[in-house]
Amino acid sequence: MKDRIVFITGASSGIGLGCARKFASQGASLILNARNVTVLEDIKKELETKYATRVLLLPFDVRNRDEVAKALTSLSQEWQAVDVLINNAGLVIGLDKEHQGNLDEWDVVIDTNIKGLLTVTRLLVPGMVERGRGHIINIGSIAGDGAYPGGSVYCATKAAVKALSDGLRIDLVDTPLRVTNIKPGMVETNFSVVRFRGDKGAADRFYQGIHALSGDDVAETVYYAASAPEHVQIAEVLLMPTNQATSTLSYRKNV
C-alpha cells in the first residue's frame, strides 16, 4: 500500500475509521471524507502522529452533488491519482414498516446510500480508467441480500449497492480495475445510534449478548480485498459475527 492513495467516505466513525487506521498502518496516503470536520481533524492528527502517513481531509456531504464535484475537481495534482475508493458513507434512520415510515428520512437514506455512492463513483472512476489502475470497494450489507422486518428501504439501498457493484464490474471488465462489494452483518458502530434516532440505550440493547463485529474487523476484510494480487478480483464478501447466521437469526447469550 506504500505510495497508494486511498479515498474513504464516511471515515469519521465505525467501519470507515477502521479502514483509515488499517490503510494508514500499511503506509497508504489517505483522503478522508465525512461531514463532521472536527472529528476528522482529530483522526488526521492521530494517523499522522501514529503512522507518519499523509492525510488530506475532504469534508462534504455525499448527498450534495455540487459540493462533492467542487471538492473532487479541485484536488491538487499530488492527490488526484486515487488508487482505492472505499464507498462507505451510509446510514439508516428508524426501523419502521414500509407503510408507516417517514418519507423525508427515507430521502436521506436513499440519497446517501445510493446517490451519494454514485456521485463519488462517477467523479473518481474515469481517472482510474485513464490511469489503468484502481479498485472500487463498496460497503454493502447482508441487508442487501434480503429484506427484514422494518428494514425495507435500507435493505433496498443495499440491494442497490450490490447491483451497482455488479454493474460497474461488468462495465470495467476490459480494464485492470477491480470492484468489490463487502457485505457485513452485525457491526457495533454508531450506526445503531443513528438507526434508533439517537437512543443509545436502544442501540446498546441491539448488540446485547452477542459479540458483534467491530469496524476494525470489517477493515481487515476490506484490506484483504485491496491487497490481493492485481489479477485477483474479490467480487463479494459476506462476513458476520460467529453467532449470527442470517440477517434475522442470531444467538444471544443470556438474553
Ligand X SMILES: NC(=O)C1=CN([C@@H]2O[C@H](COP(=O)(O)OP(=O)(O)OC[C@H]3O[C@@H](n4cnc5c(N)ncnc54)[C@H](OP(=O)(O)O)[C@@H]3O)[C@@H](O)[C@H]2O)C=CC1
Residues forming the site for ligand X (CB under 6 A):
9-16, 33-36, 61-63, 88-91, 112, 116, 139, 141, 184, 186-187, 189-191, 194, 215
* Residue in 32, 85, 124, 143 binding ligand AKB, rule: CB under 6 A: 143
Please enumerate in sequence order all residues whose Cβ is within 8 A of that of 71, keeping only pairs 6 or more positions apart, or say none.
33, 58, 60
Query: Does residue 154 have an active-site annotation?
Result: yes
CB of 141 to ligand X, least distance (A): 4
Q: Which is nearer to ligand AKB, 58 or 213 (CB)?
A: 213
- In the complex, residue closest to ligand AKB by CB: 141
What is the C-alpha separation between 6 and 59, in angstroms, rounded?
15
Task: Pick one of 16, 94, 116, 185: the residue that binds ligand AKB (CB under 6 A).
Answer: 185
The residue from 154, 223, 224, 251 that is catalytic is 154
Does residue 20 belong to the site contacting ligand AKB (CB under 6 A)? Answer: no
Helix (H) or strand (E) holding 208, with range, is none
Task: Assign 11 to helix, strand or coil.
Answer: coil
Can you say how many angstroms the Cα of residue 170 is from the centroid of all Cα atoms in its chain? 21
Strand partners, 5: 29
Q: Confirm if 195 and 188 have CB atoms less than 8 A apart.
A: no
Strands 135-139 and 55-57: unpaired
19-39: b (≥16 Cβ within 10 Å) or e: bbbbbbebebbbbbbbeeeeb
- The reply on whether position 141 binds ligand AKB by CB under 6 A is yes
The least CB distance from residue 175 to ligand X, in Å, is 25
Shortest spacing between CB 7 and ligand AKB, in angstroms:
22
247 interacts with ligand AKB by CB under 6 A: yes
Of the pair 116, 151, the CB lying nearest ligand X is at 116
When CB distances are held under 5 to 8 angstroms depending on the partner's kind, the choice from ligand AKB, ligand X, none that residue 72 binds is none
Query: Do residues 15 and 187 make contact, with C-beta atoms less than 8 angstroms apart?
Result: yes
Q: Kindly state the smallest distance separating residue 210's Cβ from ligand AKB, in Å.
A: 12
Q: Is residue 88 a contact residue for ligand AKB (CB under 6 A)?
A: no
Rule CB under 6 A: choose which of 5, 117, 142, 172 binds ligand AKB.
142
Amino acid at site 255: V
Cβ closer to ligand X: 23 or 191? 191
100, exposed or middle or buried, with CB in 10 Å at 0-12, 13-18, 19+? exposed
**# chain residues binding ligand AKB, by CB under 6 A:** 8
Considering the complex, what minimum distance in angstroms separates the CB of residue 232 from ligand AKB?
A: 26
Residue 83 CA to residue 127 CA, distance in Å, equals 10
Catalytic residues: 154
